[in-house]
Amino acid sequence: MAAFEFRAPVDSDATRLAELSAVKVAESGVHEDLETAAHVRARWEMPGFDRAKHEVLLDLDGKLAASMYLRFDQGMADGWAYVRPEFRGRGIGTALMDWLVKTARAHGEVRELYAYGTTGMPGSTELVSRYPGAKRANNFLRLRHVSPGTAAKPEWPEGVRLVPMAVEALVDVVAQIHDEAFRTNWGFRPAQRDRLLHEAKHDDPSMWLVARDADGPVGFFQSRVRQTPGLTYGEGYGIGVVDRYRGSTLPSALLREGLHRMAERGAQEVVSGVDGRLWSAVFLYTSNGYVCTHEGCAYAIPF
């Protein structure tokens, strides 16, 4: 296999990575994967991310041919890569996977390593699933709501209401509820306050909803609105309720309220992702107007 000269990104690569992301989205049709230059810079600023060590680029024939970055989260790491179609078949994908394994191994604190494939990019599934020792660990669903403004009216449990919060308090509450709501889920990691604070400051914190009853906070919903050429869309990327409200109308109420707020801010459609094995979560979304568009698979990679 040919040797490739990977390099770390520099400031000016934010625009080039955004252009590469547009190529990926044009191929896959998954517009929520689009990264603008601002999104790339925000990712570089994420606590714990060192672009000099955790991301590589490959230049070929005057183009940015491929990229891959690695994220770390409390003993778990996962890698995300893309190779331009015209440069495939040269072994670049395998070389990127080798870099992923080497970098995770050098980190010293990684216990689990994952890479992903999706039905929107079948070549990614083939590459990852055929990597030596790879084992399928879980599947995820990409869901889309094509008319968020028509979502049903929220039905709040008696005594539950939404409360505005300052960013610092908001982050604390979301972290607390997250850890209670997701502690039994696959791949659970306790919320990291510094990362939540980073997200809140780069998003609109008014799009983070917190519900409470007489005893305190009981649920949250996180969303954002993004713009791509020709489309404004919403992204719901976090929802959770405390144990005593499981099975109540609270999850649906939070989801519906979030849909309406994204629509008010111009979202023409809304996308979300959910663990495919959490059938209660799948039902929550599909019963509120979402449809599944793609399936993604997580593969455990030995290192």
pLDDT at 184: 73
CA 111, 119, 228, 274 dihedral sign is negative
Q: Quick one: tokens of 42? A: 């925000």
Q: Quick one: tokens of 138? A: 């879980």
pLDDT at 187: 66
Amino acid at 216: G
pLDDT at 48: 86
pLDDT at 142: 92
The listed CATH number (3.40.630.30, 3.40.50.720, 3.40.50.11540, 3.30.43.10) that belongs to domain 144-294: 3.40.630.30
Torsion, Cα of 200, 203, 207, 212 (10° steps)? 0
More confident residue, 126 or 60: 60
The Cβ of residue 266 has, within 10 Å, a number of other Cβ atoms equal to: 11
What mean pLDDT is reported for the chain? 91
For the segment 38-62, the average pLDDT, to the nearest whole number, is: 94
pLDDT score of 236 more than 90: yes
Element (H, E) at 66: strand 63-73
**Residues near 246 by beta carbon (within 8 Å), at least 6 away in sequence:** none
For the segment 251-255, the average pLDDT, to the nearest whole number, is: 98
In the chain, where are the structural domains located? 13-132, 144-294
Q: Quick one: tokens of 168? A: 């610092």
Q: Assess whether the region 13-132 and the region 144-294 belong to the same CATH fold.
A: yes
Placement of tokens 């990679």 in the chain: 301
Name the band, by pLDDT with cuts 50, 70 and 90, for residue 132: very high
Of 21-25, 62-66, 143-147, 247-251, the one with minimum mean pLDDT is 21-25
pLDDT at 151: 98
pLDDT score of 1 more than 60: no
Share of the chain above pLDDT 90, in %: 59
Q: Considering the domain 13-132 in this protein, what is its CATH number?
A: 3.40.630.30
pLDDT score of 148 more than 90: yes
The Cβ of residue 154 has, within 10 Å, a number of other Cβ atoms equal to: 18
Q: Hey, which residues does 269 pair with through a beta bridge?
A: 233
CA 76, 123, 6, 31 dihedral sign is negative
Give the β-pairing of 216-228 and 269-275.
Answer: unpaired
> Max CA-CA distance within the chain?
65
